[in-house]
Amino acid sequence: MIDVKFDLRDFERMARQLGAAADQVPFALAGALNDALFKTRTKLISETWPQHVTVRNAGFMRGALRIEKATKGNLRGEINSSGVGDRGHLRLHATGGIKRAQGALAIPDPAKVRRGAKGVSKNQRPRALPNSFRKGEVIYQRLVAKKRKTGGLRLMYVLKPQATIKKDVPFYEDFRRSMIAEVHAAFPGAMAKAMRTRR
């Protein structure tokens, strides 16, 4: 998602203040990074995402966000969205931008098209919509006689080659804030554990 860099000298200084051996800093820092990654992932799933979007599938973010753990030889960890590829357009939610389609994006009328946990319900999708037809860049549905109002047609979808997604989820900002706080909070305990298991 975004890089957050830490200065190793800060943690070596912290280790000296704790009376710990400097050779255990990489092991302790890897543990602190991993602890921070898991706590940050939980915050992104349970706080950041639901506070900024309408959640229809509670398990989506749990499946989307994956962790690559740090090791003492590679003090680099990450949270990425490799679990869903580009399906949720998570990067666009974080930065804003244009979502492009191979053909055309069917933009549903939110008042008329029902959405569920997996998006638009199958019987409401453009190809499955009963009594529907396309005229230009619009898909209409003919109304049954008893539901008929003016004209007997209901606009269901507008077809567009692209759609704008506004920056609406502060993934990067929350990631940075959480990682900095959690790594510093976890390091003393990780350092104590490293000293206990030192050979």
Tell me: do 36 and 86 sit in the same domain: yes
Compute the average pLDDT of residues 89-118: 81
Tell me whether residue 2 is in a domain.
Answer: no
Tell me: do 22 and 106 sit in the same domain: no
Entry field: residues in the chain: 199
Tell me whether residue 1 is in a domain.
Answer: no
Tell me: do 103 and 160 sit in the same domain: yes
Tell me: do 58 and 104 sit in the same domain: no
Nearest to 131 by CA among 123, 146, 120, 141: 141
- Confirm if 35 and 190 have CB atoms less than 8 A apart: yes
Tell me: do 19 and 107 sit in the same domain: no
User: How many Cβ atoms sit within 10 Å of the Cβ of residue 11?
Assistant: 22
Residue numbers of the domain that contains 179: 8-93+167-196
Between residues 110 and 53, the one the model is more confident about: 53
For 19-53, write each residue's pLDDT tens digit: 888 889 999 999 999 999 999 999 999 999 999 99
Give pLDDT, residue 155. Answer: 87
Tell me: do 74 and 111 sit in the same domain: no
